[in-house]
Structure 1
């Protein structure tokens, strides 16, 4: 990342960090119903909420640290806004506590992530529903979330819709698992978009990252795949655009790009997420899909760690990145967010585990690591030590 841009982002991130001294106001105390205008950047008005679930994870991690200096830095992570992953039917229950302490000026980030045959190209993040359980996805997963959102009309919500799903249909269509999941992905995402199209909600559909749909050959079909599902849902007005780099590692504006010297670099003009948003955003506009974006900067502080673009599991040497802020310097980028809660594992390094994925055993993956979603204390401390800007 260029030094002058880094300085701007550091300042923006510092300004955006929420204070633990601010009075916490219950959502019930908010006096009027929220109406979010998805034709505007809602992050310029609302601050991403530091949800109670991640706060408790971080507080437990802080208690396990003996070094006083590191302990003090770690405690500040609890005050950073991040998205809450509703990644199973059971985890919908996390919603209630998270919304209970949501101040009126904050927006609660939720990741909608439980499609049938979820993550058809990976083992570590396979979901609980089989590829043919679309009816259960609708009735037991999406519908209960809709009910909770409707029951909290005075609160604002930002949703990331189904990470990795539609991008997998573009680039992994030859895998049998993805062939099996294709119809459920398209129908499921469309149902989610249509059902979650509520006044107090703004939605961003996951679009992978620059090292995935950013390849020259993937831009047009990627945009058309997202637009197809968006239009099948009736072009819901609360869809603002896309989410990129979710749980990812790509730099925002590193130039030259991290893989610019690779032999195949000439086939990918999106060498950072800023370029990706610009180029994919243009393709989305042509395809008839909203094209503003939020970008995950939760773990992208350190570059040059991965052997190739596609290495996604617990990258060794990573660090916490820029704090959530709407000051991005790019018109199409609404906000930098923390999409993936730093410290929660991407997948297990145990080769004997049912959900072991070979990407979690690569030389650039941190070991040992527990199952996806489980806390990894050592990894959290590494992210903290390598944070830019530092805590």
Structure 2
């Protein structure tokens, strides 16, 4: 949890910057508000380097960019926890829910501490074993207590199993442990009075509905609020919502009708055909189906299409160039299955050292060495705010 720059200082900087750069912004969508109805989503303290970038932009006379970065960090987004000790994460979680409660806001936690996290790649780390992970989840549960919270549980935990990256043994020991760990977290957190837990699906360009639904069921989605999609990725709101509807429908078909996930339509099925199938096979009301949330933090311009044939591994998910912030977070989506549109990924923080199949050390798309995963990336932050859709500030 970042504390060097206090929220009061950031607010003062934000107000002064916005007054200098965008006096015409009155009436624009308030960056810290969801939609004016119901509870607000929580805005955590920003990355200290974001504040430093704002100060640098103001000193350089780049007031409009400073105002855009200010608006970005003042927008509700998830609070990430992953490498803290149980004692630390309990305290930090409690601090957040208390602060959110004072502000009548709903915090979103992205918990990221599963053993074997990220297949030991850019975001490697996590608990050493199942017992250590369970103790860590227990600490998060104590920190949340009876206050309200949404939990985005372990990005990539189900979409990227140990078996998927060659880290398991012939008996599937680590993959079995992964399901044990995810189920434990669901069973520990979802029963808390005000907590809703969502499980990982990756994104619409990765697993088919037919392959991810069995993983969700094995991971305990029946006992969770539902699932999330597009965390830290770039697929459009339309693609994410459709993918979510298909997954939710397939879960209902399997769990309520004893169907086979292999029979469900997937995201590549023509939509009219998929809807016809849903109408014929899913007769469960939305209130009894698995719900979902989506990540719109960086999807304003959709996915990046790498230059054809340029890279052996283009890493289209890794700091792609010229992407923009997506639609602002909200708890009112207009879809009875979609509980929220969120900014799960912290926009402006790097995905890692992207080499795209080259020897590096520079990212060949950018000509720079990208910051390590989780560090602030000023170049990308400017791209995100300049290409935001909808725009962060009104046109001049």
| TM-score band, normalised by shorter chain | 0.7 to 0.9
Deviation at 1:175, TM superposition (A): 3.3
Partner of 2:150, secondary structure, is strand
Structure 2 unaligned residues grouped into runs of 5+ = 1-26, 257-288, 307-312
Equivalent residue number for residue 386 of structure 1: 387
Equivalent residue number for residue 186 of structure 1: 179
Note if contact 1:112-1:159 (Cα within 8 Å) is conserved in structure 2: yes
Cα distance per residue 1:10-63 (max 9 Å; x no partner): xxx9657326xxxxxxxxxxxxxxxxxxxxxxx9732210012x2655333312
Deviation at 1:349, TM superposition (A): 3.6
Equivalent residue number for residue 157 of structure 1: 149
Equivalent residue number for residue 158 of structure 2: 166
Deviation at 1:189, TM superposition (A): 0.4
Equivalent residue number for residue 338 of structure 1: 343
CA pair 277-366 structure 1, distance change in 2 beyond 3 A: farther
Equivalent residue number for residue 22 of structure 2: none
For the aligned residue pairs, the C-alpha RMSD in angstroms reads: 3.2
Equivalent residue number for residue 318 of structure 1: 323
TM-score (norm 2): 0.71
Equivalent residue number for residue 237 of structure 2: 252
Equivalent residue number for residue 305 of structure 1: 304
Equivalent residue number for residue 32 of structure 2: 18
Equivalent residue number for residue 137 of structure 1: 133
Equivalent residue number for residue 288 of structure 1: 255
Note if contact 2:156-2:202 (Cα within 8 Å) is conserved in structure 1: yes
CA pair 51-359 structure 1, distance change in 2 beyond 3 A: farther
Find out whether 1:85 has 2:77 as its counterpart.
no
Equivalent residue number for residue 263 of structure 1: none
Deviation at 1:344, TM superposition (A): 1.0
Distance, in Å, in 2 between the alignment partners of 1:134 and 1:211 is 30
Distance, in Å, in 2 between the alignment partners of 1:241 and 1:210 is 16
Of 200, 204, 209, the match for 2:203 = 209
Distance, in Å, in 2 between the alignment partners of 1:384 and 1:70 is 8
Of 203, 226, 242, the match for 1:241 = 226
Deviation at 1:311, TM superposition (A): 2.5
CA pair 14-273 structure 1, distance change in 2 beyond 3 A: farther
Deviation at 1:134, TM superposition (A): 0.9
CA pair 359-279 structure 1, distance change in 2 beyond 3 A: farther
TM-score (norm 1): 0.72
Distance, in Å, in 1 between the alignment partners of 2:200 and 2:164 is 21
Partner of 2:226, secondary structure, is strand
1:213-232 correspondence runs (5 A): 213=207, 215=208, 219-230=209-220
Note if contact 2:329-2:341 (Cα within 8 Å) is conserved in structure 1: yes
Q: Greater RCO between the two (CA within 8 Å, min separation 6)?
A: 1
CA pair 107-337 structure 1, distance change in 2 beyond 3 A: same
Find out whether 1:347 has 2:352 as its counterpart.
yes
Aligned pairs, number: 316
Equivalent residue number for residue 240 of structure 2: 273
Find out whether 1:46 has 2:39 as its counterpart.
yes
Distance, in Å, in 1 between the alignment partners of 2:30 and 2:242 is 24
